[in-house]
């Protein structure tokens, strides 16, 4: 069937792959799908579930790069501009325009004049990049005066307020479906994708990658996959895996904890608001409407080690809350408003990066620095830029990108009702609703209740609703249990 993620690890060992991708987050999925458009046969293996780590915990915004223009980072702007247009073109059913407002106070880059210049440059450079499609979908930004800014954002601090900058980004209404439909697209093009399969050993012959030994986390069996190119997209664990596969690999990943909060509070404005906190870290937070809830982020801080499930401390959450209250006086955000914390690890900057973050993705060719030929490590930074970085990684790996791309029709997006709609359907047409759930589980390699609730849908976004949803699903599919604990990446060959 077209677009089915068919999990059959034993059968997958019979093939020889053009490229083996390790890591099933947004960067791994992007590389696998792009490889199919180059006419390649990729294998994607993921030790947990697809999109289960940092990719699942983003703020859901696909940035267009206007903040990069304010910092005159034209390369970053171009990548974001091209990538945002790509998402808008290929996933219109999951993505919608997001109006963003930044209060302007006449200081530094937060001045009405500077923002107007950024808007003009934004339009000029988009045309130069050939991204007219984006302009046809997202409105053009503008600068509001102080009174209009107060009307749009009533809680805005008024002292020295000179106006507000308006621009439009895009937001993923269903980020889980973006990643899963993207992966289904890769599989429709000939990719093989296996979750709960852990890369354990790189096989090398005459200095060249020959394959990967892995372990099936469900059956507990050892697997051997043949391929002469391995692209390591293991996200926060990419450096550890790269050094296991190539002990000469330089250390470059300094983990940084990043987290966003889901608040049980009505939105404070009809648009997303970018606010600068006057105390503490002095970072910029985005406050994003999310139905009857509000999402806010992103808080960054240093992190020791590589925890499998990174999470902030109570003190860090409280600090973020205090900073938000200082940035938006009158909001009075209390700790009980925090419903869920979305956290992950990002690469920290070893130099002067914004808020200590690495600002550009990197692709390391291990063969050029004395390691195995055919081994590459990708260190991604933002969800948005994954399509651009995937193309770059395959180009660095030596796959021709100048030839005409293979046209692989994207499978029709799967209709995913919300939890309440499904519960109603289960009450009125139980057999039909149960069959739908079983079909999703079979066609999207759902191995646990958590896979379905958190990485195929957002039904359990509010954790208070999760116990009843777990009970409902296990009633329909009794054999669907909890997610197995992943194995760790192991050694080089």
In a domain, 144, yes or no: no
**At which of 322, 349, 376 does a domain end?**
349
Note whether 257 and 335 are same-domain residues. Answer: yes
Q: Are 245 and 232 in contact (CB under 8 A)?
A: yes
- The number of distinct structural domains making up the chain is 3
Question: Counting Cβ atoms within 10 Å, is residue 164 exposed (0-12), middle (13-18) or buried (19+)?
Answer: buried
Note whether 330 and 471 are same-domain residues. Answer: no
Note whether 246 and 257 are same-domain residues. Answer: no
Q: Which pLDDT score, from 0 to 100, does residue 119 have?
A: 87
Q: What is the mean pLDDT of residues 206-215?
A: 96
Note whether 261 and 313 are same-domain residues. Answer: yes
* Rounded Cα distance, 473 and 452, in Å: 9
Band (321; pLDDT cuts 50, 70, 90): very high
In a domain, 183, yes or no: yes
In a domain, 465, yes or no: yes
In a domain, 442, yes or no: yes
Note whether 371 and 223 are same-domain residues. Answer: yes
Q: Which pLDDT score, from 0 to 100, does residue 252 have?
A: 60
Band (479; pLDDT cuts 50, 70, 90): confident
Q: What is the mean pLDDT of residues 50-70?
A: 82
In a domain, 314, yes or no: yes
Q: Which pLDDT score, from 0 to 100, does residue 483 have?
A: 56
Task: Give residues with Cβ within 8 angstroms of 351, minimum separation 6.
Answer: none
Q: Which pLDDT score, from 0 to 100, does residue 148 have?
A: 96
Does the pTM exceed 0.75?
yes
Distances (CA, A) of 70 to 145, 170, 387: 20, 19, 23
Q: Which pLDDT score, from 0 to 100, does residue 113 have?
A: 86
Q: pLDDT (tens digit, 9 = 90+) per residue, 92-124?
A: 999 999 999 999 997 777 888 888 888 888 888
In a domain, 404, yes or no: no
Note whether 226 and 189 are same-domain residues. Answer: yes
Note whether 30 and 50 are same-domain residues. Answer: yes
Q: Which pLDDT score, from 0 to 100, does residue 68 have?
A: 75
* CATH for 385: 3.50.50.60
Q: What is the mean pLDDT of residues 64-78?
A: 77
Note whether 245 and 324 are same-domain residues. Answer: no
In a domain, 486, yes or no: no
* CATH for 279: 3.30.9.10
Note whether 248 and 362 are same-domain residues. Answer: yes
Note whether 20 and 44 are same-domain residues. Answer: yes
Residue 43 has pLDDT above 90, yes or no: yes
The greatest distance separating any two alpha carbons of the chain, rounded to the nearest whole angstrom, comes to: 70
In a domain, 232, yes or no: yes
Span of 9-13, 193-197, 246-250, 458-462 with lowest mean pLDDT: 246-250
The residue range of the domain holding 288 is: 253-349
Q: pLDDT (tens digit, 9 = 90+) per residue, 245-303?
A: 998 877 666 778 889 999 999 999 999 999 988 876 678 899 999 989 999 988 888 77
When the pLDDT of each residue in the chain is averaged and rounded to a whole number, the result is: 87
Note whether 181 and 243 are same-domain residues. Answer: yes
Q: Which pLDDT score, from 0 to 100, does residue 231 have?
A: 97
Residue 491 has pLDDT above 60, yes or no: no
The DSSP call for residue 99 is E
């Amino acid at each position: 069937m077209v677009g089915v993620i068919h999990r059959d690890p034993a059968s997958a060992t019979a093939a020889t792959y053009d490229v083996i991708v390790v890591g099933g987050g947004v960067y791994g999925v992007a590389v696998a799908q792009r490889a199919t458009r180059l006419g390649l046969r990729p294998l994607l293996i993921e030790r947990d579930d697809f999109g289960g780590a940092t990719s699942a915990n983003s703020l859901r915004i696909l940035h267009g790069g206007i903040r990069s223009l304010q910092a005159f980072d034209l390369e970053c702007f171009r990548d974001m501009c091209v990538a945002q247009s790509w998402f808008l073109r290929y996933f219109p059913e999951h993505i919608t325009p997001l109006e963003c407002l930044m209060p302007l106070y006449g200081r530094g880059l937060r001045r009405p004049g500077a923002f107007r210049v950024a808007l003009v440059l934004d339009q000029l450079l988009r045309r130069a990049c050939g991204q007219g499609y984006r302009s046809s979908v997202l409105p053009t930004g503008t600068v509001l005066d102080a009174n209009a800014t107060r009307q749009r954002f009533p809680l805005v601090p008024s002292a020295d307020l000179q106006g507000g900058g308006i621009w439009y980004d895009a937001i993923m209404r269903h980020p889980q479906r973006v990643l899963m439909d993207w992966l289904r697209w890769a599989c429709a093009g000939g990719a093989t994708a296996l979750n709960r399969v852990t890369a354990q050993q790189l096989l090398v012959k005459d200095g060249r990658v020959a394959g990967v030994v892995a372990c099936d986390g469900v059956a507990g069996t050892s697997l051997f996959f043949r391929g002469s190119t391995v692209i390591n997209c293991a996200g926060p664990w990419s450096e550890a895996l790269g050094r296991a596969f190539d002990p000469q690999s330089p250390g470059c990943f300094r983990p940084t904890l990043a987290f966003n909060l889901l608040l049980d509070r009505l939105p404070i404005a009809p648009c997303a608001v970018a606010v600068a906190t006057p105390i503490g870290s002095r970072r910029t937070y985005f406050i994003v409407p999310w139905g009857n809830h509000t999402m806010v982020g992103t808080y960054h801080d240093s992190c020791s080690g590589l925890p499998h499930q990174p999470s902030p401390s109570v003190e860090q959450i409280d600090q973020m809350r205090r900073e938000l209250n200082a940035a938006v006086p009158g909001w009075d955000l209390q700790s009980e408003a925090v419903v869920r914390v979305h956290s992950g690890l990002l690469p920290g900057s070893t130099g002067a990066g914004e808020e200590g973050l690495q600002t550009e993705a990197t692709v390391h060719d291990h063969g050029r620095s004395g390691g195995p030929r055919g081994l590459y490590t990708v260190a991604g930074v933002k969800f948005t830029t994954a399509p651009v970085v995937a193309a770059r990684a395959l180009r660095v790996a030596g796959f021709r990108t100048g030839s005409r791309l293979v046209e692989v029709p994207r499978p029709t997006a799967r209709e995913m009702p919300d939890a309440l709609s499904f519960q109603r359907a289960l009450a009125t047409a139980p057999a039909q609703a149960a069959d739908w759930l079983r079909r999703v589980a079979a066609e999207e390699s759902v191995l646990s209740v958590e896979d379905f609730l958190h990485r195929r849908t957002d039904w359990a976004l509010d954790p208070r609703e999760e116990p009843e949803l777990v009970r409902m699903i296990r009633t329909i599919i009794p054999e669907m249990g909890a997610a197995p604990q992943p194995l760790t990446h192991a050694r080089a060959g």
